């Protein structure tokens, strides 16, 4: 453990990520699982981005949002998983203070951006289903671009609240009982007074996460009410199919997020939190492209076109 002495006080300059323990057999299994998940996540999301960019039929707001979400998921996973894989291989679970802070900042910013993007996608589905005659007017490409840029800016701007952490003093214990640098576990190790930063962080979290969450819930309440008023079962099924994939993703993301950050911080829940954290940090980015591609005819059609072009190019060689 690297330390430095400042004014007769030992100050921690690096942290140890305890992750899931130190059992060699488990570490090998975890390494293989994380590696497979990371490869599937990167390939799946990059494929979605490629399809949206290359296929003219997918140049609509719905798929622009989907491409943005997939781009975000690649960044999201790359913030955490490569560091985990390196620690499994080398056995070195230490991370510098600056490295820990940067990981926490980018993870928090990307998570907040995802909240805004999911909210924008739910609003897009609301317009498509509840106001179909005015959809092209209310959701133009320009409006779509503004929502996407606004989501990224808001996500990163909201997490500037983390910068006061650089002024905190960390001394004594330096072990973080998690597989990545998260806000609450890191704050527990601070020797300085954290009362003010906790209050400000709570206020900022409410401002930047509750509005997109309530907008998402309101949008789907209106969508479900509209679908239930459709007289034919075929029409209801067709309308619901256009937003069911997004609803699944929203449920998984917000469900696990609330379990981790809103339930009381007890020892039992602390251990479960690592498992639930793995859902929205590791598994959700992997299943998102699978959910959207397997349940979306246009995405599958675009994928078939790409495959056909690749096969044709091979035969022409």
Q: Please give the distance of CA 110 from its chain centroid, rounded to a whole number.
A: 6
What's the pLDDT at 146?
94
Strand partners, 49: none
Q: Please give the distance of CA 272 from its chain centroid, rounded to a whole number.
A: 19
Write the pLDDT tens digit of every residue in 228-285.
Answer: 888 888 878 877 777 777 788 888 788 777 777 666 665 556 667 777 777 778 888 8
What's the pLDDT at 269?
60
What's the pLDDT at 139?
92
Write down the residue that tokens 């401002």 correspond to. 207
- Examine the pLDDT at 160 and tell me if it is beyond 90: no
- Examine the pLDDT at 5 and tell me if it is beyond 60: no
Please state which of the ranges 3-7, 126-130, 271-275 shows the lowest mean pLDDT: 3-7
pLDDT band at 1 (very low <50, low <70, confident <90, very high): very low
| Dist CA 115 CA 280 (whole Å) | 12
Distances (CA, A) of 88 to 19, 20, 99, 103, 150: 10, 11, 18, 18, 37
| Dist CA 274 CA 262 (whole Å) | 14
- Beta strand 94-96 with 14-17 is antiparallel
Question: What average pLDDT is seen over the chain?
Answer: 81
Mean pLDDT on 45-49: 91
Q: If you ran DSSP here, which 8-state letter would residue 161 be given?
A: G
- Identify the helix (H) or strand (E) that includes residue 106: helix 97-130
| Dist CA 287 CA 279 (whole Å) | 10
Write down the residue that tokens 């997918």 correspond to. 58
Please state which of the ranges 60-74, 103-117, 205-219, 232-246 shows the lowest mean pLDDT: 232-246
The answer to whether the beta carbons of residues 85 and 35 sit under 8 Å apart is yes
- Identify the helix (H) or strand (E) that includes residue 17: strand 14-17
Between 169 and 133, name the one with better pLDDT.
133
Sequence ranges of the domains in the chain: 3-316
| Dist CA 111 CA 257 (whole Å) | 10
pLDDT band at 11 (very low <50, low <70, confident <90, very high): low
CATH topology of domain 3-316: Rhopdopsin 7-helix transmembrane proteins (1.20.1070)
What's the pLDDT at 270?
60
Between 196 and 294, name the one with better pLDDT.
196
């Amino acid at each position: 453990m690297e330390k430095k002495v400042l004014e007769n006080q030992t100050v921690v300059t690096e942290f140890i990520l305890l992750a899931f323990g130190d059992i060699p057999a488990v570490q090998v299994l975890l390494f293989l699982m994380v590696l497979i998940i990371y490869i599937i996540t990167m390939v799946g999301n990059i494929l979605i981005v490629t399809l949206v960019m290359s296929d003219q039929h997918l140049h609509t707001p719905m798929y622009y949002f989907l491409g943005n979400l997939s781009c975000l998921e690649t960044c999201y996973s790359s913030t955490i998983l490569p560091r985990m894989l390196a620690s499994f291989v080398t056995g070195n679970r230490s991370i510098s203070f600056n490295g820990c802070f940067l990981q926490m900042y980018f993870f928090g910013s990307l998570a907040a951006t995802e909240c805004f993007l999911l909210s924008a996608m739910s609003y897009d589905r609301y317009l498509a289903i509840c106001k179909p005659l005015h959809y092209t007017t209310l959701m133009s490409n320009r409006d779509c671009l503004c929502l996407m840029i606004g989501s990224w800016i808001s996500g990163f701007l909201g997490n500037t609240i983390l910068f006061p952490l650089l002024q905190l003093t960390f001394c004594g214990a330096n072990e973080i009982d998690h597989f990545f640098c998260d806000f609450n576990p890191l704050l527990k190790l601070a020797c300085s007074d954290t009362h003010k930063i906790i209050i400000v962080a709570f206020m900022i979290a409410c401002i930047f996460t509750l509005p997109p969450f309530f907008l998402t819930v309101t949008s789907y309440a209106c969508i479900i009410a509209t679908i239930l008023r459709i007289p034919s079962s075929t029409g209801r099924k067709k309308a619901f199919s256009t937003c069911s994939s997004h609803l699944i993703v929203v449920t998984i993301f917000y469900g696990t997020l609330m379990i981790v950050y809103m339930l009381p911080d007890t020892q039992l829940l602390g251990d479960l939190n690592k498992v639930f954290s793995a859902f929205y940090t590791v598994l959700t980015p992997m299943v998102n492209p699978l959910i959207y591609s397997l349940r979306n005819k246009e995405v599958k059609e675009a994928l078939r076109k790409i495959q056909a072009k690749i096969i044709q190019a091979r035969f022409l060689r």
